[in-house]
Amino acid sequence: MSTTISNSENNGGKMPGGCTGRGWQPGQSGNARGRRPGGASLTAALRRTLTRKDAEEIARKLVTLAKSGDLRAVTIIFERLDAVEVERRLADLEAAVQKQNQRQDRT
């Protein structure tokens, strides 16, 4: 049995160093230089340019989309609310649905 085979067996069938055998050595970074300090990022640019009014308009549009049935908008909203807030809003939504169903039953 060769060393490569025994190492690949110990590593879950993977060869050390990847498929080329010349992969990253222990302690070596795959991106040693990394991003330049002060490099532009989308998040930083948005923080600089978005005003509170812009953010409120975007939030209103997102809520409108969610109310019209856009599931992606619903997901975005619920991902950004904390769990307690989500539970409270879901309870409110369930109550509204029950109230609407009761109205429909009366007609």
Give yes or no for a contact between 23 and 16, defined as CB atoms under 8 angstroms apart.
yes
Give yes or no for a contact between 73 and 62, defined as CB atoms under 8 angstroms apart.
yes
pLDDT tens, residue by residue, 53-99: 999 999 999 999 999 999 999 999 888 887 777 788 888 889 988 98
The answer to whether the predicted template modeling score (pTM) of the entire model surpasses 0.85 is no
| Alpha-carbon span 17 to 26, nearest angstrom | 10
One-letter identity of residue 21: G
Task: List the domain boundaries for the chain.
Answer: 51-106
Residues 6+ apart with CB under 8 A from 89: 81
